[in-house]
Amino acid sequence: MNKNLISVKTVVAIGIGAALVFVLMRFVAIPSGVPNTNLNLGIAVLAVFAAIFGPIAGFLIGFIGHMLVDLTWGGVWWSWVISSGLFGLAVGCCWKFMKIEEGGFNVKKAITFNIVQILANAVVWGGIAPTLDILIYSEPANKVYLQGIVAGSLNAVVVLILGTLLLFGYTKTIAKSGSLKAE
């Protein structure tokens, strides 16, 4: 039995997701008032793709998308690139439970999705990213933890609103099995 680790559909989703994350994070970023920290709509797209296609896709979309953003700004900030990947990985872990490709994203699944994404934002941006900034770049702790808390809070709100709406909208486009009848 020859089973691929990821399907062709998932590979395509990784490419499209990374491109969307790049465009939204690079060109639709709204400054937060805290240096080097923006309100990013791309995080909602990352969370949605991760919830639909799983943790591997989530990690790669976050990692590649954020890396492309940093490359176009002149230098890769690896602590945050890795953290974007870890956020996608964490949200993608709810993929099997959500079964979004089967349709039926309901209030219970929306609550679960948002609990997962809020916890992932708190851990990744409030803990991992700032700690990596200190370890890799010797950044001052008070600066990077403030950036992480602000980024994580903004991300959680964006995913709560935009991500949830995108998932409800996406599942409305999926034909339920057995919904087509022969005439």
What is the Cα–Cα distance from 149 to 122, expressed in whole angstroms? 7
What was the pLDDT predicted at 101?
83
Residue among 158, 155, 144 at smallest CA distance from 34: 144
What was the pLDDT predicted at 137?
96
Q: Tens digits of per-residue pLDDT, 54-94?
A: 999 999 999 999 999 999 998 999 999 999 999 999 999 98
What was the pLDDT predicted at 36?
87
What was the pLDDT predicted at 6?
85
The CA distances from residue 152 to 15, 29, 32, 82, 177, in Å, are 25, 15, 12, 15, 37
* pTM attached to this predicted model: 0.91
What was the pLDDT predicted at 1?
44
Q: What count of other Cβ atoms lies within 10 Å of the Cβ of residue 175?
A: 8
Angle (CA) 102 158 51, round 5°: 25
- Given a cut of 70, the residues of the chain with pLDDT beneath it are 1-3, 175-183
What was the pLDDT predicted at 177?
56
What is the Cα–Cα distance from 25 to 19, expressed in whole angstroms? 10
